[in-house]
Amino acid sequence: MQTIPVGVGDRVFVLTGAGISAESGLPTFRAEDGLWAGNRIEDVCTPEAWELNPGLVWQFYSARRAAGAAAQPNPAHFALAELEGRIGDRFFLCTQNVDDLHERAGSRRLVHMHGELNKAHCEDDCGRPPVEDHALYQDLAEVGHCACGARLRPHIVFFGEIPLEMERLEREIKRATLMVVVGTSGSVYPAASFVHWARRNRARTVYIGPEPPLNAEAFTQVVEGKAGAVMPGLFAVE
Ligand code: APR
């Protein structure tokens, strides 16, 4: 069985994608039966889609809220929470996922770079922080408003928008000696560049997933398999 050694001097930066939640029953994006097979990105996940048909956008994210609430963390989420429990602030997790399965497994030091399903924010970006919002909207008339009067939109980074907390992520990647990437196809930037940034700092880079991602050549180790099957017991912490 392969292991990933984690030494006393290591700082670990983990990047996860939709694949880590696949065994929890949540569809990925680019699989044949994935979310982008049944929905057009330009209808539900761009600033233009929001301008044109906010009701449809809310329906799409309401359905994903319902699926997320019904899902449970799987052994891969728990393996990362356990690693964090062992190495503390030498661990940092960045997820592209908008579900809350990492938190529900016990992860604490994490950033959702593409937003969070269970939050909403002001469509005018008035500066107020995002608010908790678990509602399932079928009709735009049900959607609440920000204190400034503008409508609330899903707290999701649409295509063409800048991911969240990029400065913090860049800082954490610079400090990392080991980058572990789980279940992401390497097709969306800037997340797909993180492995190259880590390599520039001579970090070891490991990919975990059932098939090679588009940026496979940048990894120094590949652990082939489904995350929930291969991650328990994978980290050999010194
Ligand atoms: N374990 C690990 N990886 C898996 C598993 C599994 N059980 N099942 C599938 N995968 C892998 C697939 O091989 C694929 O490489 O998960 C990856 C999913 O890729 P995508 O569907 O492209 O999802 P992701 O890379 O997270 O997408 C990035 O695109 O649309 C946007 O904002 C959305 O955050 C998302 C971003």
pLDDT tens string, the chain, 238 residues long: the values are 899 999 999 999 999 999 999 999 999 999 999 999 989 999 999 999 999 999 999 999 999 999 999 999 999 999 999 999 999 999 999 999 999 999 999 999 999 999 999 999 999 999 999 999 999 999 999 999 999 999 999 999 999 999 999 999 999 999 999 999 999 999 999 999 999 999 999 999 999 999 999 999 999 999 999 999 999 999 999 9
Q: Alpha carbon 103 to chain centroid distance?
A: 12
3-state secondary structure the chain: CCCEEECCCCCEEEEECCHHHHCCCCCCCCCCCCHHHHCCHHHHCCHHHHHHCHHHHHHHHHHHHHHHHHCCCCHHHHHHHHHHHHHHHHEEEEECCCCCHHHHHCCCCEEECCEEEEEEEECCCCCCCCEECCCCCCCHHHCCECCCCCEEEEEECCCCCCCCCHHHHHHHHHHCCEEEEECCCCCCCCHHHHHHHHHHCCCEEEEEECCCCCCHHHCCEEEECCHHHHCCCCEEEC
Q: Give me the domain span that covers residue 35.
A: 27-70+116-156
The length of the chain, given as a count of residues: 238
Gap between the Cα atoms of 49 and 41, Å rounded:
9
Q: Name the strand (E) or helix (H) holding 222.
A: strand 221-224
Shared domain for 65 and 168, answered yes or no, is: no
Q: Are residues 125 and 185 in the same domain?
A: no
Same domain, 190 and 90: yes
184 lines ligand 1 (CB under 6 A): yes
Task: Write down the pLDDT at residue 117.
Answer: 98
In a shared domain, residues 9 and 102: yes
- 189 and 235 share one domain: yes
pTM of the model: 0.98
Using most ligand atoms within 8 A of CB, pick from 15, 16, 29, 57 the residue to mutate for ligand 1.
29
CA 124 – ligand 1 centroid, Å: 30
Catalytic residues: 114
pLDDT at 114: 98
DSSP state of 145: B
How many domains is the chain partitioned into structurally?
A: 2
Which ligand 1 atom minimizes the distance to the CA of 98? 34
User: Among 156, 185, 194, 223, which residue has the most ligand 1 atoms within 8 Å of its CB, making it the best to mutate?
Assistant: 185
User: Does one domain contain both 16 and 120?
Assistant: no
Q: Which of 156, 187, 216 is the last residue of a domain?
A: 156
Whether residue 119 has its Cβ less than 6 Å from ligand 1: no
In a shared domain, residues 121 and 189 = no
